[in-house]
Amino acid sequence: MPKRTDTRARMLATAGDLLHRQGYTATGLNQILEESRAPKGSLYFHFPGGKEELMSLALERASESLTEMIERVLAAAPSPEHALDAITAYFAGQLESSQFTKGCPLATVALEQAATSDALHRVCSATYGRWQAAIAARLERDGHARERAESLAGFLLATIEGALLLCRAHRSTEPLLRASAELRRTLKGTP
């Protein structure tokens, strides 16, 4: 049944992109159906749990490729500072090419929904947890004690997330570039 699978995959991809750009609340089911060219009846056929199920899966799917990129960069970079530079460049490019509509793909949904939707809270919390664990693993590999690596990783993640938010608020990549430069100092200063 290749067609059914195609429709489902298209709906997830479209929903993921819309969640990234405009968040959960502004993303209506009709918009997803239209933009993914899916027939009206297909929502509950593919996603019996309705909007929350479709959105949770779409968010999970959308963040999966970013998680893989982050893990790959952290594993392959010659140093944590190089990984930080690569991740900074990635997000700065995405912010600019999207006219500041695309920062972190989870952030808007997390702020809109994590306090009230258990399903979306679980996706956001698990994904941020994986990113933090990937950073911590790299820092540990470079000689930081486990507890120190964990704490520093949470700090790096918070700073990058906040900087991405400020970039969108100011419509400028400056907050990210400056925060990244400060994080480089932190990484150098804490062996």
Query: Applying CB under 8 A, which residues contact a second copy?
Result: 22-23, 25-26, 99-101, 103, 106-108, 110-112, 114-116, 121, 124-125, 128-129, 151-152, 154-155, 157-166, 168-171, 175, 178-179, 181-183, 185-186, 189-190
Contact 38, 7 (CB under 8 A): yes
Using the minimum distance from each CB to a second copy, give the nearer residue, 35 or 161: 161
- Least Å distance, CB 129 to a second copy, is 8
Residue 101: CB partners within 8 Å, gap ≥ 6?
21, 22, 168
- Convert 112-140 to b/e letters by CB count within 10 Å (16 or more is b): bbbeebebbbebbeebbeebbebbbbbbb
Using the minimum distance from each CB to a second copy, give the nearer residue, 39 or 116: 116
Using the minimum distance from each CB to a second copy, give the nearer residue, 10 or 184: 184
- Least Å distance, CB 72 to a second copy, is 22
Among candidates 9, 27, 10, which has minimal Cα distance to 101?
27
